[in-house]
Structure 1
Amino acid sequence: MHNLRWARGLSPVLLAWCAGVAVQLQQVALWSASSYAVTFAATFAALAGLALRGRGHSRRFGAWRPMAVCGAVGVLAFAVTAGHALLKVQAIDPALEGQDLVLVGVVQAMPQRQDIGWRFRFEVETAHRVQGGQAVRVPRHVYLGWYGQDGVSDSGWNLSALPEPVQAGERWRLRARLKAPHGNMNPRGFDYELWLWEQGLGATGTVRTGAAHPPPERLAQTWAHPVEWWRQSVRDRLQNRLAPEHASVAGIVVALVTGDQAAIDRSHWDVFRATGVAHLMSISGLHVTMFAWLAAVAMAGCWRQSARWGFKGALRWPAPQVGAVAGLGLAVLYAVFSGWGVPAQRTVWMLGVVTLLRLSARQWAAGQVCLLAAAVVLALDPWALLQPGFWLSFVAVAVLLWTDQRSAVVHRLGAKEGAPWCPAWVRSWVGRLWGLLREQSVVTLALAPLCLLFFGQVSLVGLLANLVAIPWVSFVVTPLAMLGVLWPGLAVWAAWALEPLTALLVWLAAWPAASVQLALPPGGFALLALVAALLWVSAWPRSWKLASLTLLWPALFWTAPRPALGTYELLITDVGQGNAVLVRTAKHSLLYDAGPRYSAESDAGHRVLVPLLSQTAEKLDVLMLSHRDSDHTGGAAAVLAMQPQAGLMSSLEASHPLWGMARTMQLCQRGQRWAWDGVQFEVLHPTAGALDGAEPLAKPNALSCVLRISDGARSVLLAGDIEAPQERALVAAGLDPVDLLLVPHHGSKTSSTPEFLAALQPRLALVQAGYRNRFGHPAPAVVARYQALHIRLIDSPHCGAATWRSDAPEQVVCERERSRRYWHHAPP
């Protein structure tokens, strides 16, 4: 092996490329294509000039030449990344949003089964207006939902019967309504719009069914996406083969084979996260990395043994190189069959770079290998830099590069040392087994800080769980599940092998303090912790590793700042069509409503509120549910399960199941008052007579808990879904002016009466409503009413999550503005 001296200066150049990508990802809006083209051309010319003029004049140019080269490379990366972004832009005409369109196209990927229908990617071939039949232009790739359910749900959905199955490769003619890609925007929450952007999906929509619309028509089965068709066939066959005897683990087997993560129950995901084995139970970037490494180790071992078996070709190529190539090839096949998702793609590219460098007959430093792999991945997929999966896979690759060197040492020691009475082959296998266990421990420990930084959770039983789960899933369950594609009986064996493992994981997850949830630290502290993690898995001396642990201290013990004593803060979350407001004082917290229930398997609690509360290590004192409607109570069960210390206040009927989930329970009624840290809380509605049934009330909205909050100088009114009769009753009972009003009933025309607004005189009003919701909230007449009274009106589709503080009442921090990037939707 020869040392590649010229590559010593490569690391700064690669870092400059990565830095240029990172800078471009911070752009709020894209420039014109001509601006980027000029930037690229000028920078490329300057870089070429530096290369030509630098020959033979290194002394003359001095130290500034490498700096100039790095700067030019960074600008070049900036322009190239912007070019990627311009090619991805697929804006839908706002005039077409919400209109019924006739689409003809092909199902592009394996559909995801939902509790009441399907979600699938659709490649549009033609699009026409329903009225007039005029051809229109829409994004080529859209994400459609086809839902159905007998009757009407408690959230008011009017849904048709359960739709028929959809298969990848089928051409359909269907009627749909499209809208721009729009997701909820909450502090450090999941960026759904970035996910859609990276997938190349230019719009989302819903298939229109029912008596007023013709049923969708299956036109033909094409062979446009054969791999996706095969994956779906395998998934359906496995599910039918494993149900009902192995229904509890059937989804896990399906996810391991086809990458369909939606097949795994939410309860299983909770257990996997608590025990730190979630990366094993679905095909992700880390999973592909581990699969490639295990395949490489197994193939290299078989190649070594083949020489002893008389295979002469085994002496021509080194076993590590054969194992690396075989591992990469199997990883590519695995990633393709799993759907060739973006995380799998970038992992394959990363592994490909590492493999090629190791085959180059040059001694590449581990740091250079990692940097070159990162630069290649970011050149092909710049937005990977923003994904936790990129960092987890990247660190996993770094760990495996480091452990390859150490594994060779362990193998030699195992073969040469030990008791003379012990056969050499026994010592060799013991050395391999010990090396495998040690490598698993290193990977688990190295990824623990990153899991804490990205997810606010680290499993204390993760090391023990992974020591059992990694070899069992990798060497037993996954091979049986993959072979079950050819011989279905082996898939049943895989299910049998999974059942004792899941039972063990459930038992470990039930241990006290099985996992720890900490507040997500700021970016600077996160960077320090990342440096510590990389040092810990590197080949640096042990003293350096121990010293690096001090870098973890800020991240582990950071606490989110709270309001000063005598003041309070509101975080009006972005949960779509529903209410959820977090109220914080110096030492206490209250959550007013828990957002909507999106489906039987998804709600605002799991998707928004639980992660939001976890990232600041928030401990709720009270969960107040204004009334029983599902757009206010949908996430309550998840919140109460995560916050068992919280008391429940509501107007729910005594038979409601949520009452039994809380530690303390109390009906909210007019006259209740309490004080936290110098801040006064007062319930203004409902009255005791309304709760007792003495007053006739037609809707649950009429029982909404109305909460007033005041620090003596600034006040807020959270009004739930009260309507005109309740507003008139409150005005008659006496209302003091407020600074901020949570608009009643999401801006429905049945609320926000003129006399109610005149009594409150709010300076600011906030509407929690979904983008292009089917109710039309906030109603245009209501918006006009607020504007006529010169009340500043802010809605969650334009603002995202809104933060308001009583000590700065004129300021509202909108998450959609604070975190805006060019891939985010700007509602008209």
Structure 2
Amino acid sequence: MSVSHQIANSPPPAPVPVFGKACAAALLCGVCLLVFAPVLLPRGPALAGVAAGMALWLWPSRLRWLGAALFGLGWAGVHGHAALERQLPAHAAATEYALQGRVVGLPEHGPRSTRFRFQVDDTAAMPPAVRGRVFALGWHDLGTRAAPPARRHLQGGARWALSARLRPPRGLLNPGGFDAERHALLEGIAGTGYVRPAPAAQALGEPTGLPAWRERMATAIASQVRGDGARFVQALALGDTRGLSQADWDDLRALGLTHLVAISGFHVGLVAGVAAWLAALGWRALPLLGRVWPRPLAAAIGAVAGAALYAAVAGFALPTVRTVLMIAVVAAARCTRRRATVGQALALAALAMLLLDPLSVLAPGFWLSFAGVLWLVWCLPGRDQHWLRTFLSAQGVATLALLPLGVAWFGQASRAGPLVNLLAIPWWSLVVVPLALLGTALEALVDGAGRWPWQLAGWCFQVSWWLFGWAARSELALWWLPQAGRMALLAALLGVFWLLLPRGGGARLPALLLCLPLLWPARARPGPGEVELLVMDVGQGLAVWVRTARHQLLYDAGPAAEAGFDAGERIVVPTLRALGEGRLDRVVLSHADQDHAGGVAAVRRAFAAPPLQAPAGAPVALSQPCVAGQGWRWDEVGFRYLHPPGPARYVGNESSCVLRIDTGYGAILLAGDIGARSEALLLQAAPQSLRAQAVIVPHHGSAGSSTPAWVQAVAPQLAIVSAGHGNRFGHPRAAVVARWQGVGAEVLSTADSGALRVWLGREGLQVREQRVFQPRWWDAAERARSAAILSAVKQAADGPEG
């Protein structure tokens, strides 16, 4: 038979499996291409992509993977539009509503406030704009130190009638900072707000459902477990981390153990294994059951049921859902007598997750969960070796393989993590967690029966926590890393892949070099005589980081509120870490008001207590007062205080330290919260010292500052306002903005631009808006701006008659 005849009669190539690994990878690529794009695909092309992709995906051919990618692109676009439509319109003003609904999840009670999620009833009695939607609310104590009883009685699963002032989700945006708008999108939060004191909120019934059961269990643990271990037993048994303090989280991050305290996929797998063993044991004890349903199938169903139950107890966190899906896939293969490898189960679980919620790729847990299992499957493909060696190999692979993702998402890595995990994983997972779950199961059956298992779990945890405590507080435990770009992450992932290749896969030095851009990214610093500023987006407050060639200064530290928000801890410190700064040479507080000085304690703790300057008489532990005429030079850049004159009585805003920064290319003025009176004094004392290329607008652009004479004297190219979006003071005032624009200044506000980065040097004055530099299709400010433009265009098209 001729070769041509054999080729002609050869069977056509087999089509790619519909739910195979190739289609799962292609679907993921299509979803990521849309989700991580700066703009959202319009609804029409997205729907077309879904239809065309589905047709190509289901058609039996070798191009099915292309259809899966196209489907993923369109499917993510459809979900993106649906997620934005569930939120209040980005341009909507804060509005008060009378609401009825249910508390979902577990409320977080603080000394002066409570934070909770509230799902409004989907009934005709509720306003259409909020009907059936979930809101993140705060309930704050006003005017009294005594906690109102109603707030304290708020429980998960309870129905309430209350009045709340609601607004669209809007977050602060800083380099390396938490993206609150992305979090709201992922969690399905339609808006944020706070409970109004009048009319008084009323409970409409007893708590019911799973949240109420979790609340009861958490209360039982707190009352029956003595010592500090109670809060960790709550976290390990129920996924309830409300009791963990910021110090606890700092210690867990330093030890690399956060994945164990929040219920992990590994714990779900253990529960599934125990449930399967119990089901098989029951079938062995009652052989007649085998005639109705085979024992292996019963064990498979038991594993899925146990995993799903534990995931429900934990609130269906992403790692638990991923593990449940994988167990369900393996169980389904078992029930249909099909052999499914771990890789195939992982691919099917990924397909299920992406089809249910393609936006889940925005969550770090998605990547850490799936990537961790994928690396282990690839590097340890069922090797027959001693269990201890397997465990050590798995820890080594997980530590190295997940390092790039951890650095990219969190900007840090735990040096102590690899060693601590060797002890914590077996002790917590095989001792503490089973005891905590045993107590929960017994308590669910009989009140008070869970006391001893819970107490034993708490004692076992405290023994290990005491051992780990010294390591967590060591300066060498946590490695902070500067923020790097996406290409650095991709290069590091390639380097890790190279390092984990089998022996003989090539030299290791090039692989290490590929990791350097992520672990030690290049950082451009100002040259001699140049200066760089970062005006952080801290809401209604001020925090400005100033850097020269070899020195850095912080001017104000952002606000802190009794409700628990501390800008120093949550914004200033993480932002400086993301910029690669491990020290501060000086901290200057313009004055002692909470919106400027609230975060200073957290900043000084994080950066080894740098010298602190503030006005004389300010109620802060200052190292030296700021006085007009005082100055210093760093790297050919001059710093000089213009205000307050000394000696002078401290009078709050009007005593603000006004700092002038002089370079060979111009000057920058940091004016604190001075008002018209102090501006007049400065105009009299040193009018020639006021002219500057850039200025931080005094007092957030209030009507009591930025007088016409002062604005004329400064006459900057750039005027920056640090203010909160939609703040109750109306800052910046329209008249003040117009005044600065009248002298030719570009006026930018952190409320609209996010953090503002300013350079003054040999290339002149430059500015970067964080929301422009870091575009995201869910950006509330950009969507509000687009809505305003469309509205203006529509009004112009309609004409005055419309």
Equivalent position of 1:636 in the other structure:
600
Within the alignment, does 1:686 sit opposite 2:644 as a pair? yes
Equivalent position of 1:701 in the other structure:
653
> Compared with structure 1, are the counterparts of its residues 266 and 435 closer, same or farther at alpha carbon in structure 2 (3 Å cutoff)?
same
1:626 pairs, out of 574, 590, 595, with: 590
1:93 deviation in Å? 5.1
Equivalent position of 1:252 in the other structure:
232
Mapping of residues 133-282 of structure 1, within 5 Å: 135=127, 137-138=129-130, 140-149=132-141, 151=143, 163-209=151-197, 213-221=198-206, 223=208, 226-242=209-225, 245-246=226-227, 248-282=228-262
Mapping of residues 716-735 of structure 1, within 5 Å: 716-734=668-686, 735=689
- The secondary structure found in structure 2 opposite 1:770 is coil
Task: Report if aligned partners of 1:119, 1:143 keep a CA contact under 8 Å in 2.
Answer: no
> Compared with structure 1, are the counterparts of its residues 603 and 474 closer, same or farther at alpha carbon in structure 2 (3 Å cutoff)?
same
User: 1:467 & 1:633 partners in 2: Cα distance?
Assistant: 42
Equivalent position of 2:413 in the other structure:
458
User: 1:705 & 1:480 partners in 2: Cα distance?
Assistant: 57
| Residue ranges of structure 2 left out of the alignment (5+ in a row) | 1-12, 444-449, 786-802
1:490 deviation in Å? 2.0
Q: Partner letter of residue 820 of structure 1?
A: P
1:20 deviation in Å? 1.3
1:267 deviation in Å? 1.0
User: 1:652 & 1:241 partners in 2: Cα distance?
Assistant: 51
- The secondary structure found in structure 2 opposite 1:110 is strand
- The secondary structure found in structure 2 opposite 1:202 is strand
User: 2:239 & 2:534 partners in 1: Cα distance?
Assistant: 36
1:206 deviation in Å? 0.4
Task: Report if aligned partners of 2:279, 2:302 keep a CA contact under 8 Å in 1.
Answer: no
1:336 deviation in Å? 0.7
User: 1:364 & 1:531 partners in 2: Cα distance?
Assistant: 28
1:586 deviation in Å? 2.3
After superposition, give the CA deviation of every residue in 1:471-500 in whole Å (9 maximum; x if it has no partner): 121122212222222112322222212222
> Compared with structure 1, are the counterparts of its residues 729 and 134 closer, same or farther at alpha carbon in structure 2 (3 Å cutoff)?
farther
> Compared with structure 1, are the counterparts of its residues 282 and 647 closer, same or farther at alpha carbon in structure 2 (3 Å cutoff)?
same
1:359 deviation in Å? 7.7
Task: Report if aligned partners of 1:144, 1:204 keep a CA contact under 8 Å in 2.
Answer: yes
> Compared with structure 1, are the counterparts of its residues 670 and 466 closer, same or farther at alpha carbon in structure 2 (3 Å cutoff)?
same
User: 2:163 & 2:284 partners in 1: Cα distance?
Assistant: 65
> Compared with structure 1, are the counterparts of its residues 339 and 567 closer, same or farther at alpha carbon in structure 2 (3 Å cutoff)?
same
> Compared with structure 1, are the counterparts of its residues 591 and 127 closer, same or farther at alpha carbon in structure 2 (3 Å cutoff)?
farther
Equivalent position of 1:22 in the other structure:
32
1:120 deviation in Å? 1.5
1:90 pairs, out of 86, 93, 106, with: 86
1:356 deviation in Å? 5.2
Equivalent position of 2:73 in the other structure:
78
1:569 pairs, out of 532, 549, 564, with: 532
> Compared with structure 1, are the counterparts of its residues 77 and 134 closer, same or farther at alpha carbon in structure 2 (3 Å cutoff)?
closer
Task: Report if aligned partners of 1:296, 1:323 keep a CA contact under 8 Å in 2.
Answer: no
> Compared with structure 1, are the counterparts of its residues 386 and 726 closer, same or farther at alpha carbon in structure 2 (3 Å cutoff)?
same
1:747 deviation in Å? 1.5
Mapping of residues 50-129 of structure 1, within 5 Å: 51=59, 66=63, 69-88=64-83, 89-92=85-88, 97-125=93-121
User: 1:302 & 1:147 partners in 2: Cα distance?
Assistant: 45
Percent of aligned pairs with the same amino acid: 35
User: 2:17 & 2:67 partners in 1: Cα distance?
Assistant: 18
1:166 deviation in Å? 1.0
Equivalent position of 1:421 in the other structure:
none
1:194 deviation in Å? 0.9
After superposition, give the CA deviation of every residue in 1:51-82 in whole Å (9 maximum; x if it has no partner): 47x6xxxxxxxxxx74xx54443222111111
- The secondary structure found in structure 2 opposite 1:710 is strand
1:139 deviation in Å? 5.5
After superposition, give the CA deviation of every residue in 1:79-105 in whole Å (9 maximum; x if it has no partner): 111111222222425786333221122
Q: Partner letter of residue 337 of structure 1?
A: V
1:145 deviation in Å? 3.0
Task: Report if aligned partners of 2:280, 2:298 keep a CA contact under 8 Å in 1.
Answer: no
2:631 pairs, out of 655, 665, 673, with: 673
1:268 deviation in Å? 1.2
Task: Report if aligned partners of 1:569, 1:804 keep a CA contact under 8 Å in 2.
Answer: yes
1:377 deviation in Å? 2.2
TM-score normalised per structure 1:
0.82
After superposition, give the CA deviation of every residue in 1:310-347 in whole Å (9 maximum; x if it has no partner): 99999x99999998765554332221111124554345
1:32 deviation in Å? 4.5
Equivalent position of 1:751 in the other structure:
705
- The secondary structure found in structure 2 opposite 1:111 is strand
Equivalent position of 1:61 in the other structure:
none
> Compared with structure 1, are the counterparts of its residues 220 and 620 closer, same or farther at alpha carbon in structure 2 (3 Å cutoff)?
same
Task: Report if aligned partners of 1:682, 1:709 keep a CA contact under 8 Å in 2.
Answer: yes
> Compared with structure 1, are the counterparts of its residues 72 and 292 closer, same or farther at alpha carbon in structure 2 (3 Å cutoff)?
same
After superposition, give the CA deviation of every residue in 1:205-264 in whole Å (9 maximum; x if it has no partner): 10011xxx22112222364xx01111111112222333xx41x33222222222222320
Task: Report if aligned partners of 2:80, 2:359 keep a CA contact under 8 Å in 1.
Answer: no
Task: Report if aligned partners of 1:395, 1:534 keep a CA contact under 8 Å in 2.
Answer: no
User: 2:375 & 2:431 partners in 1: Cα distance?
Assistant: 23
Equivalent position of 1:794 in the other structure:
748
Mapping of residues 28-43 of structure 1, within 5 Å: 28-43=38-53
> Compared with structure 1, are the counterparts of its residues 790 and 165 closer, same or farther at alpha carbon in structure 2 (3 Å cutoff)?
farther
The answer to which of 71-80 and 394-403 deviates more is 394-403
The answer to which of 813-822 and 355-364 deviates more is 355-364
1:300 deviation in Å? 7.9
- The secondary structure found in structure 1 opposite 2:640 is strand
1:297 deviation in Å? 6.1
TM-align CA RMSD: 3.7
- The secondary structure found in structure 2 opposite 1:561 is coil
Task: Report if aligned partners of 1:701, 1:721 keep a CA contact under 8 Å in 2.
Answer: yes
The answer to which of 718-727 and 338-347 deviates more is 338-347
Task: Report if aligned partners of 2:693, 2:765 keep a CA contact under 8 Å in 1.
Answer: no
Within the alignment, does 1:771 sit opposite 2:725 as a pair? yes
> Compared with structure 1, are the counterparts of its residues 137 and 450 closer, same or farther at alpha carbon in structure 2 (3 Å cutoff)?
closer
| Residue ranges of structure 1 left out of the alignment (5+ in a row) | 55-64, 411-430, 660-664
Equivalent position of 1:432 in the other structure:
387
User: 1:668 & 1:354 partners in 2: Cα distance?
Assistant: 68
Equivalent position of 2:576 in the other structure:
613
Within the alignment, does 1:502 sit opposite 2:441 as a pair? no
User: 1:756 & 1:305 partners in 2: Cα distance?
Assistant: 84
> Compared with structure 1, are the counterparts of its residues 597 and 350 closer, same or farther at alpha carbon in structure 2 (3 Å cutoff)?
farther
2:554 pairs, out of 588, 591, 598, with: 591
After superposition, give the CA deviation of every residue in 1:340-388 in whole Å (9 maximum; x if it has no partner): 2455434533554466568876676766654554343223222222222
> Compared with structure 1, are the counterparts of its residues 321 and 710 closer, same or farther at alpha carbon in structure 2 (3 Å cutoff)?
farther
Aligned length: 756
- The secondary structure found in structure 1 opposite 2:170 is coil
> Compared with structure 1, are the counterparts of its residues 675 and 74 closer, same or farther at alpha carbon in structure 2 (3 Å cutoff)?
same
User: 2:387 & 2:179 partners in 1: Cα distance?
Assistant: 42
> Compared with structure 1, are the counterparts of its residues 709 and 355 closer, same or farther at alpha carbon in structure 2 (3 Å cutoff)?
farther
Task: Report if aligned partners of 1:563, 1:585 keep a CA contact under 8 Å in 2.
Answer: yes
Q: Partner letter of residue 124 of structure 1?
A: V
2:315 pairs, out of 322, 336, 339, with: 339
> Compared with structure 1, are the counterparts of its residues 535 and 167 closer, same or farther at alpha carbon in structure 2 (3 Å cutoff)?
farther
1:816 pairs, out of 756, 763, 771, with: 771
1:19 deviation in Å? 1.8
Equivalent position of 2:9 in the other structure:
none
Equivalent position of 2:7 in the other structure:
none
